[in-house]
């Protein structure tokens, strides 16, 4: 009979402090929900002297991982140090010592999830990672349990809080990219190296996790096409607004006839799209299932307590399994072999902002590049930008294939009429 549960925490930064606050502050609820006391036994940090964002007894802190992963009384290890190699090593050690593991580490799960899950299963341990995607939104449990009966064909997500916060503030408050990134870092949304946020890598890791679960295939990080937001300018956002779109960093995973595409890229969403109204650090995941139809899950995608909510809910699940004696039995192997779509099979509309020569014939030469590729234009705008004979052309194509669009991009670059392709983004038609 499990009479109490002892937890070891690896990391006491933004998320770790939230876990301590929730485990300490929700004792009554936890006792009621799992039927026995749950307490924190040891906490690994790098710097024992640092001021913490939670109240913690100094004797619980250690700078030696062995005190957590090899501790004889610890039943559950929560990994929130981040990074890959060190975290992988500690988690493997904990699992091989028959400790259940909870992690918020999408970098690690996207790269080594299969290895860690099979080690957990081999040791009869749970390995849960709800907080690794979309912070406080219970999206992993939704795919694994809530929609387990359905066939999912499409998932679109705003799964990075930092970039959504940056795009919202740049658009609504006219702030610069650098100003807002600094704010997002101060608020604890950004990764320790924010490059992975702004270049779309963090979102790509999350989409690899979601697509693997949703499509029951082993989707690797390398299978995800990635483009970040660091080149987006206030002019792009202004034109998007004029055309009735909102710019978002969108994770896109689709399955047609057994083949899948997974990407993360800045995307123009019609203002009527359900994801267009998701603001600030909030995340949302739109899921289409053949039987259920459209569903959407919304909430805070980053931050101390939202992320800790998912972790402590995983803890509740682990303790319930411990009391039932069923840990390590929830891993389901992928059902399908991975098949990725080719560029000819991926469809989309595209936005271009071009600087062209402002002279007779330019316009027809430009539109003929699209016409020769059998792509028609849905929206078009032209205005002079300077006295040196340069005009700005902004356009949106009708639906075409990624392959045709790549050809158009190449031809535009090669023609003498386009001076610079200022920007180029995907446009979403409808949900
Ligand atoms: N921040 C967020 O909103 C979210 C974060 N995540 C994920 O959660 C994890 C933690 O993120 P976050 O809390 O923001 O990170 P922080 O950088 O705020 O905290 C990291 C903590 O881990 C400790 N630490 C780091 N490396 C080591 C090491 N090698 N040995 C011992 N201790 C170490 C640090 O110690 P010290 O304090 O002494 O320096 C710090 O306490 C990451 O995987 C992140 O991707 C997931 C969802 C949301
Ligand atoms: N840096 C991440 C934190 C949560 O995963 C984000 O901004 O979403």
Q: Give the separation between CA 372 and CA 408, rounded to whole angstroms.
A: 9
Judged by its nearest atom, the ligand closest to the C-alpha of residue 86 is 1
Per-residue pLDDT tens digits for 90-103: 999 999 999 999 99
Segment 58-67 shows an average pLDDT of 98
What pLDDT is attached to residue 51?
Answer: 95
* Gyration radius of the chain's alpha carbons: 24
Please say whether the beta carbons of 355 and 382 come within 8 A. no
Boundaries of every domain in the chain:
5-135+304-324, 139-299, 343-427
| 64 pocket-lining for ligand 1 (C-beta < 6 Å) | no
* Superfamily of the domain at 139-299: Dihydrodipicolinate Reductase; domain 2 (3.30.360.10)
For the CA of 18, the closest atom of ligand 1 is 13
Gap from CA of 10 to ligand 1 centroid (Å): 8
Per-residue pLDDT tens digits for 253-296: 999 999 999 999 999 999 999 999 999 999 999 999 999 999 99
Inter-axis angle of helices 304-324 and 27-34, nearest 10: 30
Gap from CA of 135 to ligand 1 centroid (Å): 14
Closest C-alpha residue for ligand 1 atom 37: 13
Note the pTM of the prediction, 2 decimals. 0.95
Say yes or no: do domains 5-135+304-324 and 343-427 share a fold.
no
Judged by its nearest atom, the ligand closest to the C-alpha of residue 9 is 1
Gap from CA of 228 to ligand 2 centroid (Å): 14
Q: Give the separation between CA 237 and CA 251, rounded to whole angstroms.
A: 19
Q: Is 275 helix (H, G, I), strand (E, B) or coil?
A: coil
Using 50, 70 and 90 to split pLDDT, how confident is the model at 1? confident
Q: What's the burial of 273, exposed, middle or buried (CB within 10 Å: 0-12/13-18/19+)? A: buried
CATH code for the structural domain at 5-135+304-324: 3.40.50.720
* Superfamily of the domain at 343-427: ACT domain (3.30.70.260)
Res 248 pLDDT > 70:
yes
What pLDDT is attached to residue 430?
Answer: 53
For the CA of 17, the closest atom of ligand 1 is 13
Please list the residues that pair with 355 across neighbouring strands.
392, 420
For the CA of 134, the closest atom of ligand 2 is 5
Residues with CB under 6 A from ligand 2: 135, 160-162, 189-191, 197, 202, 301-302
Judged by its nearest atom, the ligand closest to the C-alpha of residue 80 is 1
For the CA of 63, the closest atom of ligand 1 is 31
Pocket-testing residue among 46, 130, 164, ligand 1, by greatest number of atoms within 8 A of Cβ: 46
| 131 pocket-lining for ligand 1 (C-beta < 6 Å) | yes
**Which positions are catalytic?**
206
Percent of the chain with pLDDT over 90: 89
Gap from CA of 83 to ligand 1 centroid (Å): 8
For the CA of 133, the closest atom of ligand 2 is 5
Segment 114-126 shows an average pLDDT of 96
Gap from CA of 351 to ligand 2 centroid (Å): 27
Gap from CA of 191 to ligand 2 centroid (Å): 6
Please list the residues that pair with 421 across neighbouring strands.
354
Percent of the chain with pLDDT over 70: 100
Measured from the Cβ of residue 17, the count of other Cβ atoms closer than 10 Å reads 23
What pLDDT is attached to residue 431?
Answer: 47
């Amino acid at each position: 009979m499990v009479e109490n549960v002892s937890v070891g925490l690896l990391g006491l930064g933004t998320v770790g402090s939230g876990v301590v606050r929730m485990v300490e502050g929700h004792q009554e609820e936890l006792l009621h929900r799992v039927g026995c006391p749950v307490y924190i036994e040891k906490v690994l940090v790098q710097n024992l002297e640092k001021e913490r964002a939670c109240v913690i007894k100094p004797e619980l802190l250690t700078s030696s991982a062995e005190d957590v992963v090899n501790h004889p009384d610890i039943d559950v290890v929560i990994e929130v140090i981040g990074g890959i190699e060190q975290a992988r090593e500690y988690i493997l050690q904990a699992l091989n010592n028959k400790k259940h593991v909870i992690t918020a580490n999408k970098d690690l799960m996207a790269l080594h999830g299969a290895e860690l899950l099979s080690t957990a299963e081999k040791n009869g341990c749970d390995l849960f990672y709800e907080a690794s995607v979309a912070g406080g939104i219970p999206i992993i449990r939704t795919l694994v349990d809530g929609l387990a009966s359905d066939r999912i064909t499409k998932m679109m997500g705003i799964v990075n809080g930092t970039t959504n916060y940056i795009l919202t503030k740049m658009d609504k408050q006219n702030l610069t990219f650098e100003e807002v990134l600094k704010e997002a870092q101060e608020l604890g949304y950004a990764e320790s190296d924010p490059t992975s946020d702004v270049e779309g890598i963090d979102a790509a890791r999350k989409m690899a996790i979601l697509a693997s679960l949703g499509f029951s295939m082993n989707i690797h990080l390398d299978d995800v096409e990635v483009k970040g937001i660091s080149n987006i300018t206030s002019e792009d956002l202004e034109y998007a607004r004029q055309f009735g779109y909102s710019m978002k960093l969108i994770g896109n995973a689709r399955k047609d006839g057994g083949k899948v595409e997974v990407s993360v890229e800045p995307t123009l969403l019609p203002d009527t799209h359900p994801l267009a109204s998701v603001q600030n650090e909030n995340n949302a995941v739109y899921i289409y299932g053949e039987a259920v139809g459209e569903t959407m899950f919304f909430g805070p995608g980053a931050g101390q307590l939202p992320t800790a909510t998912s972790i402590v809910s995983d803890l509740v699940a682990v303790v319930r399994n411990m009391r039932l004696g069923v840990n390590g039995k929830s891993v389901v192997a992928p059902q399908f072999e991975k098949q990725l779509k080719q560029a000819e099979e991926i469809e989309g509309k595209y936005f271009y902002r071009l600087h062209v020569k402002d002279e007779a014939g330019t316009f027809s030469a430009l539109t003929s590049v699209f016409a020769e590729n059998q792509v028609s234009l849905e929206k078009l705008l032209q205005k002079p930008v300077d006295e040196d004979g340069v005009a700005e052309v902004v356009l949106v194509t009708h639906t075409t294939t990624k392959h045709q669009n790549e050809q158009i991009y190449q031809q535009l670059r090669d023609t003498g009429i386009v001076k610079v392709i200022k920007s180029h983004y995907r446009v979403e038609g409808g949900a």
